[in-house]
Structure 1
């Protein structure tokens, strides 16, 4: 409840108006039976037509006012809950943005999506019931019980006698529903996970003709979710008939006992009718509150999952201070860096890495699959934290930079080119928000993307589908490279970003890039020797260690691992050059 009240209290004015409407609504609901009793006792029994008419008009006015209050109550409740859930989602999304890769892996992307969407929605449903029923029902119940006892203490015992049975039923259902709710939400996480995998990997699934297998896998998880939902709904379905059964028994006993008292002259007809109305409000309010109470375990599960996401502190924290001033721009230095993925018990991915890259230099990394190339360059923008040693930029440890400042110094192009939905221009402005059309075209030209973009009917305004699936792999890579180029960073990091390009396009792109990176540090991870053979410095990695450093020619002569890689890709004539 702490999370729910913390966010609902952000709307204090609306909450006050909500309370006013609640009190007004209760007064009207309980005032009507009192007016009805007076109409019967003083008007109908005594056949006073004028009194009946005046009371009828008064009751009509009260009913109309009650309708207005009910509408206002619904409006204020909706405003509070929608504002509250919007704030929760905004804050949770902001929190998630600060997560490192470790937190994403620990919670799971699918689970985070469920927490932002479904869990927040469950809280909204619960708070809507709390603000409309949770406040109204207890006060209505207390006021009704008071009027019941005041009207006829002897009949009031029937109501009070039924309360223990109601309480036992409510608590039992609440205790049984909590574990089912937890299981239901976990099953929903699994559904989201499989659905996400299926949609993102649909081409692979179709290529291997595994649609049937995926359907069966989804059906299994969906059945688990359905079963837990059925158990929860069956449990809830038992509550209402049980309440009404008890309610009807109480009403029969009261009418029977009340008729005896009327016959004896100790109770008036109008008072009995008012009494029945009070009992109805008392028991019905209790039943409504019990329904809200039974919803609490499910909302509590959702709230705890959201609080868990809020409570998780990012492994990589940004320094909350001004950026350090440096004399140089773009010098990257690794000093005795050792790295192991968080939580891993295996040997480190990288061990004792030392090198320096300066502005104007192109430093390339090559090695067999799993040698640690991508892991190494991901330490520069602090996607992961080094286990030992230091990563320095311009002589300052990357840990001492504010993350935003650090990452603005870097133009990072990952292995998998990712484009966002929107236009090509929108994607390019992701690199530089105020980029002009001229700057975008220049970046596209350097990235060898200008030709195919210009052939598109809408050019820069061409729509990009989610993930850029309406472009080929090579086109996506070139657009991703253009997005980094337009940023004009101090350091370029190409993480195997030329793999989808043909050799001719690769060569043209690197030649154009060389002209605009004379004052920029360029780091390239590559599998193809042809991509990096003209680099100023090539670093060869093997099983997480540097086994060779030098130019292409020097490594061919001095590094057997590099020679083997080159020999597998180049002809004998190219090796001898």
Structure 2
């Protein structure tokens, strides 16, 4: 937290000076009031009253300016801190591989970026205003207490140990509650995210009540912990008030006795009470800061976890950025297992090669490892054994951004961003011309439905492209990759939402467009891949068949069974 705060040293210094201005008004006024009473009012000297009154007005004006600067500096620093933290978290998560996303969870990362950063901001706001002010106020008040009446100061000293014990106990008990509270907030975000993204499925299965019960469980858990935490904090103020009132009662009782004996003046007693009030009030404010610390520390730790996590797949700044050849791909004995589960690989000893103009297809049962296999090329994950060569270079030796610029990836679930159709299509090439967009949309069989939109390429897409059909979203995703003109096209079951006629037209156009690139297609439909130059049949992560459609019908029983379930007898012949 201080690392971010000290980026704004000038504002912190001005904040510190403003604290002194506040202390001046808070302690200067009771001191001057005591002198006004004893030297002016008590002896009927109006001149002295007027003199001290003018000084008090001047101090009030100075204090007002100081308070304005204090409020400005505190707000400016804390808003800048939370902005910097969120920028850094976002930048860090952009560098994460899929492994780190799996480790934290998307919902937890959202909570850390929003709520945890806000908790840190609130705490730093307290620190900059109260954390700096209260220790100085407390020390200054104690000096004035001892100077005004040493014989009464023991009352305050006697109460301090009780107050300290209370603060420490509350701080110790609040830390585990704060950790539990933030974890429960992660669960709420996860549940809410699932509920919103899966709304159509929930309604289709008429499971709204079930989802409400699920949400109620995590929400009640959060509420229960929050109640315990807030109750704990709520006990502090009445506890402090009881101690304060006892101190004030004892001081007034002893002070009246000293006035009767002539050892203390009325003005000094009033000033003494004011000093005690400031000292104890400062202590209470500082105690609030201290009690907020465990909660902020939990949030800061959660943020630091993200920032300190080093991604297993890094940018490789000294990596290769250019190659002489384009579109050559080779898998050499590739094996992959998820981290921590190396004994059960998802992919086992896969080898194949392709050259520009070729189409390589992957087919197999659900869970056979098709999508995982192609995700190794852009290094969403790294191979466990073996290597993948793109244009003769191991993908791990590329600069990561350069590697991914060579690849046009179209995922299983078509993802579009909020914005216009044109902005989405230019996502891989921001300087693409209107002509390039039209050509890409024509190849992807998207031009027809785009032309029917009122704003055409400037048509706004809703969040996730929810105002488009599944087939339209897939065609726009394909068009986005075509605009990029990569060396390798990866279609991860990207034709599943298309009808057979559109599928056939699109593949025919793609064939001529991708003569200088390798095309990889993951598919469930044999009709989509039967014209591929090479088809790999996967089963439980292993290649059990490789060849053309006709070759595999004769040599691979698994492929024949898949084809037989989808094609007519004439097509199998």
TM tier, shorter chain?
A: over 0.9
Q: Select 1:235's aligned residue among 228, 232, 236.
A: 232
Tell me the residue number matched to 2:174.
177
1:39 maps to what in 2? Answer: 36
Q: Is the partner of 2:368 in helix, strand or coil?
A: coil
Q: CA deviation at 1:324?
A: 4.8
Tell me how far apart the structure 2 counterparts of residues 466 and 346 of structure 1 sit (CA, whole Å).
40
1:189 counterpart residue number: 186
**Equivalent in the alignment of 2:138:** 141
Alignment of 1:219-298 (within 5 A): 219-298=216-295
Residue 119 of structure 1: aligned partner: 116
Please list the CA deviations of residues 341-361 of structure 1 after superposition, one character each: whole Å capped at 9, or x if unmatched: 122265211111110011111
The equivalent residue for 1:481 is: 478
CA contact (8 A) 2:138 2:280 kept: yes
Cα distance in 1 between the residues matched to 2:436 and 2:346: 39
Partner of 2:365: 368
Cα distance in 2 between the residues matched to 1:275 and 1:297: 34
Aligned residue for 2:428, secondary structure, equals coil
Match in the other structure for 2:206: 209
Which residues of 2 match residues 373-522 of structure 1 at below 5 A? Answer: 373-522=370-519
3-state DSSP of counterpart to 1:527: coil
Deviations 1:437-472 (A, max 9, x none): 111111111100011011011111111111111111
8 Å CA contact 2:8–2:77 kept in 1: the answer is yes
| Structure 2 residue matching 1:541: 3-state secondary structure | strand
- Supply the distance in 1 between the matched residues of 2:169 and 2:557 (Cα, whole angstroms): 73
| Deviation sequence 1:226-283 (CA, Å, 0-9, x none) | 1111101111111001101100110111111111111111111111111111111100
CA distance in 1, matches of 2:438, 2:12: 53
Q: Report the secondary structure of 2:152's partner residue.
A: helix
Q: How many residues align?
A: 573
Kindly provide the CA deviation profile for residues 314-358 of structure 1, in whole angstroms up to 9, marking residues without a partner as x: 121221215254221111100011111122265211111110011
What are the residue-to-residue correspondences of 1:307-386 with 2, within 5 Å?
307-344=304-341, 347-386=344-383
Give the Å deviation of 1:307.
Answer: 0.8
Q: Secondary structure at the match of 1:153?
A: coil
2:153 corresponds to which residue? 156
SS of equivalent to 2:496: coil
After TM superposition, the score normalised by the length of structure 1 is 0.98
1:253 and 1:391 map into 2 onto residues whose CA distance is 82
Tell me the distance in 2 between the aligned counterparts of 1:189 and 1:356: 44
* Stretch moving more, 10-19 or 423-432: 423-432
CA distance in 2, matches of 1:565, 1:400: 38
**Which residue is 1:58 aligned to?**
55
Tell me the residue number matched to 2:300. Answer: 303
Q: Displacement of 1:50 after TM fit?
A: 1.9
The partner residue of 2:96 within 83, 95, 99 is: 99
For 2:540 and 2:53, the matched residues in 1 are separated by 91
Which SS does the other structure have where 1:383 is aligned?
coil
Structure 2 distance, partners of 1:90, 1:297, is 24
Aligned-residue CA RMSD (Å): 1.0
Of 225-234 and 62-71, more deviation after overlay is shown by: 62-71
Unaligned segments of structure 2, at least 5 residues = none
Cα deviations by residue, 1:163-183 (Å, 9 ceiling, x for unpaired): 000000000000011111111
Q: CA deviation at 1:423?
A: 1.2
The one of 24, 27, 35 equivalent to 2:24 is 27
Instruction: For residue 9 of structure 1, report the CA deviation from its aligned partner.
Output: 0.5
Whole-angstrom CA distance in 2 between matches of 1:412 and 1:310: 28
**C-alpha contact (below 8 Å) 2:321/2:403 kept by paired residues:** no
Unaligned 5+ segments in structure 1 are: none
The residue that corresponds to 2:569 in the other structure is: 572
